[in-house]
Amino acid sequence: LYTAPDSCEGRCGEPFNEEDECHCHPGCEAEHSCCEDHERHCGPDGFSSSSGSISEQELLELSEQLYGLDHNKARPSDIALNPQHLAGPDETGDEQDRSPQPLYRYVNEELFSKPTYASFIKLLDNYQRATGREEEVTAEELREQGRFLEEVMKTELMKKLFVFLQGKNRYSSEQEFLQDLNQMWFGLYSRGDGERDSSGFEHVFSGEVKKGKVSGFHNWIRFYLLEKQGLLNYFSHNFDGPWDTYPDVLGLQFSWDGFYKEVGSAFIGCSPEFEFGLYTLCFLARPGRACHLSLGGHRLSVQTYPWTKATYDGGRRFIATAYVMSP
């Protein structure tokens, strides 16, 4: 399932992309730019059929479909933002608070009673944010992880994603997909000194602190809840997406208990399943590379990276990070 950026496994026949380290499109041999294992996977006897690869066009179409299926997203009346200062490139790193007011003027918290939101929020207090400190996972926390996955898989959005991946021979059953989601997002690995201190979910959605700086933390719900508690101070934004409905995209500067985040890009107003599904799609289709998508007619990219120092299930990779890219 995992496609290494320097391998043709699962990439045969995909279109040329100049960002790729090496290539697997039909003309790469003539250009001497093929990955080393091109012949093994994509030759006449290769075992990565092009029917399993995911094209750029398919990503654009599927992302629009998932955008349309985000039935649990916020309506424009559910959130009032106060973005205040637009930071220039020379201002994002100077740790100056240029916005005296909070980012969120108002959020309709009835959203949080929807099953995917409620089960998502329950996960946010399960983590030690400091890297290098072992995560102790209780039976209750395992139940909460299972509940969240169960709830997101009930949504039309995640069912659509599964059917697409099943059609690409990535998963044979919903159960297999669910088990792999559990491992790739919640499986523990070490960012610190050999302690199993991190997971993709913790990093992306809850946020971590590493070497005195905020690491990960790309979720609007987490941001709002911490800001409301007075634990997070919004400084400025360096990007505000072109959308006039939700989800929108913001690039943010903020301080979490005194730890700074120079650019924390986030979807604003989307449901947990939308973000979870979109990042999963990009991780499976374009790990380690920009994943080009379209939402409501606007192009954007998601960047994901695999964790390269540990694997599960015979070589599959955990998610190291995933975030929407703000220009």
pLDDT tens string 271-292: 999 999 999 999 999 888 889 9
Q: With beta carbons less than 8 A apart as the criterion, state whether 54 and 14 touch.
A: yes
- Opening angle at CA 266, ends 261 and 272, nearest 5: 125
Percent of the chain with pLDDT over 90: 71
Choose, from 203, 210, 237, 292, the residue flagged as catalytic.
203
Q: With beta carbons less than 8 A apart as the criterion, state whether 124 and 206 touch.
A: yes
Ranges of CATH 4.10.410.20 domains, the chain: 1-43
pLDDT: which is higher, 311 or 65: 65
Tell whether the model's pLDDT for residue 2 goes beyond 60: no
Choose, from 23, 210, 218, 237, the residue flagged as catalytic.
218
Is position 218 annotated as part of the catalytic site? yes
Average pLDDT of span 218-229: 98
Query: Among 17-31, 75-89, 92-106, 148-162, which stretch is predicted with the lowest mean pLDDT?
Result: 17-31
Tell whether the model's pLDDT for residue 48 goes beyond 60: no
pLDDT tens string 188-223: 999 877 788 899 999 999 999 998 999 999 999 999
Among candidate residues 309, 248, 254, the one with its CA nearest the CA of residue 275: 248
Reported residue count of the chain is 327
Tell whether the model's pLDDT for residue 326 goes beyond 90: no
Which of these CATH numbers, 4.10.410.20, 3.40.30.10, 3.40.50.720, 3.90.330.10, describes 1-43? 4.10.410.20
Structure confidence at residue 53 (pLDDT): 79
- Return d(Cα 66, Cα 160) in angstroms, integer: 8
Q: What is the pTM of this model?
A: 0.86
Joined tokens for residue 62:
């599927």
Is position 41 annotated as part of the catalytic site? no
Structure confidence at residue 47 (pLDDT): 43
Task: Name residue 202's amino acid.
Answer: E
- Helix axis angle, 156-167 to 272-285, nearest 10°: 10
Choose, from 41, 237, 261, 292, the residue flagged as catalytic.
261
Q: With beta carbons less than 8 A apart as the criterion, state whether 318 and 279 touch.
A: no
Tell whether the model's pLDDT for residue 4 goes beyond 80: no
Is position 203 annotated as part of the catalytic site? yes
Give me the chain's average pLDDT, please.
92
- Return d(Cα 73, Cα 274) in angstroms, integer: 8
